[in-house]
């Protein structure tokens, strides 16, 4: 899950061109070089390469005159990259306040990371609040549809959970479609729609034959839909 959700951008190519531009020796180019460096740092952020982004921000601070950049913003970006490195290493507590500040400053794409921090400390209300911020700003992708589905299952609102699983399955983004299809079956079972859940499960085990949880849920539904009505001990031969 990247720092930002825009698609169709090749950030590696962009970094290559920025690097070439920095290599061009020109007089009075310091202001332009600062812009190039900052664009390159942003590209690294969007690739989740937080260490490289921090390296550039730190270099700008040391190398260039303060009149060519916003000092307060640069200091915040250095702090932010430090906390994003902690986040990427599995620390979901320390970075929380800095990430929330970033969201308040307009980096709404980071609301996804704030939500993940809250999820990891089991604060589901705040988790959903920040998922809402993300979806209102950037829309719902398959990951977000999955997280909403899981959230509503957790609070036993299976109708809403089902609506999100259906929405996620129909998105062009298919990254989490397997998980969404499984939860779609779960929601239908919870809503006692056993026949439809069985139809979904039949398709699921064909698509994902190695998924043991899918196989188990299919076998469970099979016992509900295709019940053997003949007694084991038909001592009076009533079912011949």
pLDDT tens figures, 179-234? 999 999 999 999 999 999 999 999 999 999 999 999 999 999 998 888 655 555 54
Helix H or strand E segment including 100: helix 96-104
Q: 3-state SS of 44-100?
A: HHHCCCHHHHHHHHHHHHHHCCHHHCCHHHHHHHHHHHHHHHHHHCCCCCCCHHHHH
Binned at pLDDT 50, 70 and 90, residue 240 comes out as: very low
**215, 205 contact by CB (below 8 A):** yes
**Residues 66-98 pLDDT 10s:** 998 999 999 999 999 999 999 999 999 999 999
d(CA 144, CA 149): 8
- Tokens linked to 20: 């070439």
**Residues 128-186 pLDDT 10s:** 999 999 999 999 999 999 999 999 999 999 999 999 999 999 999 999 999 999 999 99
């Amino acid at each position: 899950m990247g720092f930002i959700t825009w698609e169709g951008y090749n950030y590696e190519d962009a970094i290559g061109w920025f690097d070439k531009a920095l290599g061009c020796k020109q007089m009075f180019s310091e202001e332009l070089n600062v812009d190039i460096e900052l664009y390159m740092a942003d590209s690294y952020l969007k690739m989740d390469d937080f260490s490289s982004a921090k390296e550039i921000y730190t270099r700008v601070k040391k190398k260039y005159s303060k009149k060519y950049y916003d000092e307060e913003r640069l200091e915040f970006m250095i702090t932010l990259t430090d906390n994003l490195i902690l986040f990427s290493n599995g620390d979901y507590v320390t970075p929380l306040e800095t990430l929330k500040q970033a969201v308040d400053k307009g980096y709404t794409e980071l609301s996804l990371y704030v939500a993940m921090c809250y999820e990891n400390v089991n604060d589901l209300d705040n988790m959903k609040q920040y998922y809402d911020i993300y979806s209102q700003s950037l829309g719902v992708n398959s990951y977000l549809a999955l997280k909403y589905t899981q959230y509503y299952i957790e609070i036993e609102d299976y109708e809403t959970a089902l609506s999100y699983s259906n929405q996620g399955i129909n998105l062009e983004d298919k990254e989490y479609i397997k998980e969404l299809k499984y939860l779609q079956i779960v929601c239908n079972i919870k809503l006692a729609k056993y026949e439809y859940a069985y139809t979904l499960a039949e398709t699921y085990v064909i698509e994902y034959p190695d998924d043991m949880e899918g196989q188990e849920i299919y076998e469970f539904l099979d016992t509900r839909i295709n019940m053997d009505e003949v007694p084991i001990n038909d001592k009076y031969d009533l079912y011949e």
